[in-house]
A and B are shown apart, each in its own frame.
Chain A
Amino acid sequence: MSLLDDPRRALSGLSRPESWVLGVSAAFALFLLAALLTGALGPTYFLFLVGLAGMYALLSFGLNAQWGFTGLINFSVAAFFGIGAYGSALMTADSSPIAGGFNPLVGLVVALVAAFVLALLIGIPTLRLRADYLAIASLGLAEVVRLIVLNERWLTNGSAGLRGIPSFFQGWPVLSTFPEAMPGLRLVVIPGTPILLETSFWRASLNVLLVLAFAGAAFLVLRRAHRSPWGRVLRTIRSDEDLARALGKNTYSFKMQSFVLGSLIMALAGVFYTHLNLYVGPGDLDPITTFYAWVAVILGGSGSNRGALFGGIVIVTIREGTRFLNDVALPIDPAPLRLLLIGVVIVAVMRYRPQGILPPQRELIWPSAVDGGGTPETPDSGVREQKGGGGDE
């Protein structure tokens, strides 16, 4: 990364919001580090939070592929998240009413296939609709999915939910026994408050590795897709669908592709959630999950993947910070406080910064194509060549 090559120049090249975000993130990281070292924040819980942040980042990536790239107002994020979670839980859990006991990898595949089918089922009728109709219709269909999960007891165990879900790495050669095999560590940073790293810590760190792998893969795929000719068509659709159609693009097909891509990433977040939380219930399909993802995306900046990552971290901070506040300072029920903060964030962003805090700027351009001070190099795979050889348009 350029930050490592030349830190000073990279820092001075940041825009104001970028340096602001960097500063706040650094301060927040220091705060978390201090909390970890003093023992105020348990390391296992911290890793759980990191996993949760990664999960919201994944959800936001998925939504970004739909809203940020193509401008699809998808209010059925919770349905895809839920189908991913239920797909893998039904395959792997002991209490699963239909199958159960399969390897988590089978659950992953089943979840993705189920999400693919659901994306087609929701997308085929709704993607032809005007933007605001799409919002209402997708929210309605997500509620239909939630009601089915809640009521079809033979399939989903109804409101009791699914328990007895194994960790994702169960049945893998080394990783399945890794947490038990690791020795319990005892770190003493500040005398008197030792930090214990035991089996649960190692299990949580495996989860973090998993979400990093998922999110990293999704990030790379999306970044590549966004800059590709395919991504350019999507951006054209977002800004002017008639123009895209006039250029001979089958916009419905492109919208469907981006809808399916985003839905699969959301389902991936659901699969991860299943193995993080080890319990899945119909409450996980509540529309609030959809709006968490939306807040993350519009706060971060629609179309910006690093913005989505930032938004995901903010969401977890709001979610868990309200719980913390309730324990420490304010005796307010965390649930409505969370709702209030989410609402205020939405209104404030739309009021003062509708493009989001980190709107996509340079991330849409090949890095080699940016004037880097010296003589501009000829891009080895620049825009022109791509246009000529873009076979997938």
Chain B
Amino acid sequence: MTVLGYLANGLVFSSIIVLGSIGLSLVYSIADFANFAHGDTMTVGAYAALVTFGAVGGLGGAVLGLPYGFFLALVVGIAVAAVVAVGTEKLVYEPLDVDSIGLLITSIGIAFIYRAVIQIRFGSDFTRFGIQPLRPIESLVPYGVRVTLHDVAIVGSAVVLVAGLHVLLQYTDLGRKMRAMADNPDLARVSGIRTKRVKLWTWVIGAGLAGAGGVFLGLFNQLSPRMGFNLLLVIFAAVILGGIGSVYGAMAGGFLIGMINQLTPFFSGVVEALPIWPGWLATLLENLISIEYANAIAFVIMVAVLLVRPNGIAGEGAT
């Protein structure tokens, strides 16, 4: 594959990571804890879409190689993820009388419950949406880019969702309230913002985007009960790289982490070609920068960012 091919793959994977990381970052800043159940919220969305798609079928026509029914399933996946998250907030997080560390630990329990319920219902095996896999787009293959129409749909939908979020945050009342609350919850409350309601909307938006990310992840790879949890740390890496609490930082971080993840084989080619001296260092780098360690590289970047620049690339206070 060429650089362009890796970049194209990176773009598709980044779209999924961005959808996950925005929600995580929003919840981190407004509900004020690291939500370890976020990855499993993605799984919930994906499986809800799987069930819906299985029930409604294709519904006639198709856009970008995806039947209409799939888009309906996507909407249902988003809605179910949002409803589940709001229900969890109402039933579990809100009555809790613990600090943010306690909420973090609770969210691990919630993550296990989500995953266990899905695994009991669907088994632990991999499944797929019942959609024919497409061949790569012919006209792009000569450039070494092997993307399908499905990948184009993933990127397109992600762009639409992210643009919608941007409009919401910048130009609507709710968006202003959310930004105010992320900035200073007490001040927001004093100025008459109903913080509880804003928090609920945050869950709706964050979990909805996560649900969409989950559906696309299922389309990009496969569905399995562990799919979300496996991606959770990569998403955390993206959020931390972007700066916790910053939505635009999360977008940038998600983009970068997704790219780095998919470009790892390219980097390993570069390392092999470079004249690195001494020889043992070259061998070490060649071993470490390989596809098996794509996630590990993201985690190491995450720790490095936490040490060097805990506010992330977006810096402090940028929302």
Interface residues of A (CB under 8 A from B): 73, 125-126, 128-133, 135-137, 139-141, 143-144, 147-148, 150-152, 291, 294, 298, 332-333, 335-340, 342-347, 350-351, 354
Number of A-B contacts (CB under 8 A): 126
**Are B116 and A346 in touch, CB under 8 angstroms?**
no
Interface locus among B51-59, B65-73, B232-240:
B232-240
Does A141 contact B102, Cβ atoms closer than 8 Å? no
Verify if B168 is at the interface (C-beta below 8 Å from A). no
A-B residue pairs in contact (CB < 8 Å), sample of 16? A136-B240, A137-B306, A140-B300, A143-B295, A143-B299, A148-B296, A151-B293, A291-B112, A298-B105, A338-B116, A340-B120, A343-B110, A343-B113, A343-B116, A350-B102, A354-B96
Report yes or no: B102 in contact with A136, Cβ–Cβ below 8 A: no
Task: Note all chain B residues with C-beta closer than 8 A to A151.
Answer: 292-293
Using A140-B236, A143-B233, A147-B295 as known contacts, say yes or no to A132 and B116 having CB atoms under 8 A apart.
no
B119 touching A294 by the CB < 8 A rule? no
Q: Nearest residue in B to A145 (C-beta to C-beta)?
A: B296
* Cβ < 8 Å to A, chain B residues 168-214: none
Q: Once the chains are docked, how many angstroms separate the CA of A345 from the CA of B98?
A: 16
Which residue in chain B gives the minimum CB-CB distance to A288? B112
Minimum Cβ distance to chain B for residue A132 (Å):
5
Find residues 111-159 in chain B having any chain A CB closer than 8 Å to their own CB.
111-113, 115-117, 119-120, 123-124
Q: B306 contacts A141, CB within 8 Å?
A: no
Quick one: which of B106, B108, B300 contacts A291, CB cutoff 8 A? B108
Contacts A336-B116, A342-B109 known; 6 new A-B pairs at CB < 8 A: A136-B306, A147-B295, A294-B108, A336-B119, A340-B113, A345-B109
Q: Does B33 interact with chain A (Cβ within 8 Å)?
A: yes
Q: How many residues of B contact A (CB 8 A)?
A: 43
Contact B303 A126 (CB under 8 A): yes
> Contacts of B123 on A, CB cut-off 8 Å?
333
Instruction: Establish whether residues B101 and A73, one from each chain, have CB atoms under 8 Å apart when the complex forms.
Output: yes
A261 → chain B closest CB, angstroms: 21
Asked whether, in the complex, the Cβ of A140 is within 8 Å of the Cβ of B299, the reply is yes
Asked if residues A128 and B307 are in contact (CB atoms below 8 Å), the reply is yes
Q: Of all chain A residues, which has the CB nearest B303?
A: A137
Residues in B neighbouring A135, C-beta threshold 8 A:
34, 101, 104
Is B302 interfacial (CB-CB < 8 Å)?
yes
Which 10 pairs across A and B sit closest by C-beta, in order of nearness? A346-B109, A343-B112, A140-B299, A340-B116, A336-B119, A343-B113, A339-B116, A347-B109, A336-B116, A343-B109
B residues within 8 A CB of A298? 105
CA distance A294 to B95 in the complex (A): 22
B295 lies within 8 A of A351 (CB):
no
Most chain B C-beta atoms within 10 Å of own C-beta, residue among A125, A133, A148, A347: A347
Q: Which residues of A contact B287 (CB under 8 A)?
A: 152
User: Smallest CB-CB separation from B100: which chain A residue?
Assistant: A132
Closest residue of A by beta carbon distance from B28? A132
Complex Cα spacing A310 to B308, Å: 41
Name the contact of B300 in the complex, choosing from A130, A131, A144 (C-beta under 8 A). A144
The answer to whether A140 and B110 have CB atoms under 8 Å apart is no
A130, closest chain B residue (CB) = B310
- Assembled-state Cα–Cα distance A126/B304 (Å): 10
- Say whether B92 faces chain A, with CB atoms less than 8 Å apart: yes
One of B109, B119, B310 near A335 (C-beta < 8 A): B119
- The proximity string for B residues 12-31 relative to A, scoring 1 for CB distances below 8 Å and 0 otherwise, is 00000000000000000000
Q: A335-B119, A347-B110, A350-B96 are in contact. Are A140 and B307 (CB under 8 A)?
A: no
